[in-house]
Amino acid sequence: MSDVTAPPRSYHDRDERVLAALRDRLLQAAGRGRVLLRGATVLTMDPQIGDLAVGDVLLNGAVIEAVGPDLGARASGPEVIVLDLPGMIVLPGLVDGHRHCWQNQLRRLICDADIDEYIAMTHGSTALHYRPADMFAGDLVSLLGAIDSGVTCVLDFSHNSRSPGHSDAVFEAYRESGARAVHVSAPPNAGQWAEQFPEDLLRLRSEHCGGTSPLATVRMGIDLRRVRPAADLMSFARDHGMAITFDGVMGPPSSAEVEELGLKGALGPDVTLVHCTDMSDGAWRSIAGSGAHVTLAPTSDQQLGLADGVPPVQRALDFGVRPSLSVDVEISLSSDLFAQMRCVLLTQRMHATQRRYRGDASAPGFISHRDVLEFATVQGAADVGLGDQIGTLTPGKQADIVAIRAEDVNNLPLNNAIGTVVQGADTKNVDTVLIGGQIRKWCGELVGVDLRRVRALAYESRDYLAARAGFTVNPVVAPSRREIQDPYLREYFASRERQ
C-alpha cells in the first residue's frame, strides 16, 4: 500500500527495497491505474499552468490527469502508486525531430567526416548491404539510447527502406524499445530496392500503427531520391491523410524548391523541413507564410559542414518560426538532445553578440534557456505532428515524462531548474522515464532490456556490414573514405559541383 500522507523523501534517501517494490508495482500496472509523482520541481512547459517549485503530477493510465502543488487528497487510496521525487526535476519527455536510427550500430565510426564522406560511407557503401535484421539492430540501439537520455519520442527518418521487410523490422524495434516513434519512410538514396514507396506507407500505417503499436505513427519522407516530383508525393500523402517531412533542405536548390512550393500553395502546417541551412529570404517567407515547420540539426550542420554550416536558429526566429531540434546521424555525432540544446543556444548567442559587438543596432537579443527547452519539447511535439498529445505536462495529454536528478554531484544544489536541465544535465542524470504511462527507465537504469542481447545484435550487425562494405573496424583507426560507385549518388555530387 502507498501512504500519500507520509512526507516525501528525496531519491537519495529512499530504501533500495522500497524502490524495488515500487518498480515491481509499476511494471505490474503496465501503464494502467493511477500514479502520483510527488514533491518534484515541475516544469510543465504549459504557459497556462506554469512551473512549480514543488508540485505533483497525477497519472491515470497512459494520460496525465492533473498537475498541481499538492494532489495528495485527490490521489488517496491504496491502489495509487506514489513516487516520491523531491530533489528531481519533472518535465515532458524530450522530442527528437529527426534521427536516422537505422545507422546506429555504426555509432561514431566516422566522427571526423564531412557531409560528402558521410554520404559515401553510409548511402554509397554500408547502406547497400543492410538486411532487415540490420535495420532492427540499428533502430533498437538508437531508440534505447534515446530513452536512456530522456528522449521519449523520435522521428525516425528511415531512408534505407529497401523492402517492406526492412520497414517491418524497424517497427519491431519500435515495439521492443517502447519508444514513441514517428516513422518517416523514404526510398534509399542509392542501390537496388523493391520500389515499394510511397504505396507501402499505407500498409505500414494499417498494419503497424495502433493495435500492437499504439505509440507509432507514419509520415511521408522526401529526401535526395525522388521517385516522383515533390508536389506529386505531397499530393499522395495528403490524399491519404499523412503529414510530410523533407530532409536535406539546404542551400540554393532547396531554396528554389521551397519558394516554388510556396508559390503553388503546396506548403502548409502539415509540412516539416529539416536543416533549412543557408536558405534565401524568399524561402523563409514561404515557410513562415504557409505555417510550415522547421526542425534544426545544430551539431550536424556545424560538424558535417552542411551548406554554410550555420544552424539557422536566428534566421528562423527572424521570420517568426519557432524551430525544433534533432540529433540527425549518430554515426558521426552525439546521441542526446542536451548537446543540441546547448549548441543552438550558444550559436544564437554567439551571432547576436557578434552583431552587437560590430555596432549593429538591429542585433537580436539572446534566446533563453527556456526557449531551447521549448524547442526540445513543445515545438518538437508540434513539428512531428503530435502537439496535441505530448510536449507539455497538461491534463489529458499522454504521460511521456522524464525525471532528472537535480541533487547529483554535477547538479547540486538546485538553484535554477531550467538552467539545470539545459546546462547541467546529461544522460546519467536521467533517473526515470515514462512513455504513455509505462516505466521505461527507473533509478537510472533501462527497464526490461537485455543489454547482453542488445550488445550481441549490434556487434553482429556492425561486423557483417563492415565485412560486406570492405573495411575492418579498428577503434583507434577510422576507416578510409569510401568511393562513390552508385550512379544516382555520382550524379547528385556532380550536380552540386555544377551549381
pLDDT tens digit sequence for 366-382: 999 999 999 999 999 99
Between 419 and 16, residue with greater pLDDT? 419
How high is the pLDDT of residue 499? 55
| Three-class secondary structure of residue 403 per DSSP | strand
| Residues of the chain above pLDDT 90, percent | 84
User: How many C-beta neighbours within 10 Å does residue 452 have?
Assistant: 8
Q: Which residues contact 279 (CB under 8 A, 6 or more apart)?
A: 249, 250, 251, 254, 255, 258, 287, 312, 315
Average pLDDT of the segment spanning 171-192: 95
pTM: 0.95
Closest CA to 51 of 300, 394, 311: 394
Distance (Å, rounded) from C-alpha 397 to C-alpha 391?
9
Average pLDDT of the segment spanning 457-479: 93
Confidence of residue 14 (pLDDT cuts 50, 70, 90): confident
Distance (Å, rounded) from C-alpha 350 to C-alpha 30?
46
pLDDT at 1 over 60: no
Q: Where are the domains of the chain?
A: 11-86+390-446, 94-383
* CATH ID of 11-86+390-446, from 2.30.40.10, 3.90.550.10, 3.40.605.10, 2.70.98.10: 2.30.40.10
Confidence of residue 46 (pLDDT cuts 50, 70, 90): very high
Residues 66, 86 contacting (CB under 8 angstroms): no
The angle at the Cα of 141, spanning 139 to 144, to the nearest 5 degrees, equals 100
Average pLDDT of the segment spanning 193-206: 96
pLDDT tens digit sequence for 64-118: 999 999 998 888 888 899 999 999 999 999 999 999 999 999 999 999 999 989 9
Confidence of residue 191 (pLDDT cuts 50, 70, 90): very high
Give, in order, the Cα–Cα distances in Å from 445 to each of 93, 149, 425: 16, 11, 16
Confidence of residue 279 (pLDDT cuts 50, 70, 90): very high
**Residue linked to cell 522530442:** 95
pLDDT tens digit sequence for 305-351: 999 999 999 999 999 999 999 999 999 999 999 999 999 999 999 99
How high is the pLDDT of residue 77? 82
pLDDT at 6 over 80: no
Residues 182, 385 contacting (CB under 8 angstroms): yes
pLDDT at 494 over 80: no
How high is the pLDDT of residue 262? 97
pLDDT at 16 over 50: yes
- CATH fold of the domain at 94-383: TIM Barrel (3.20.20)
**What average pLDDT is seen over the chain?**
94
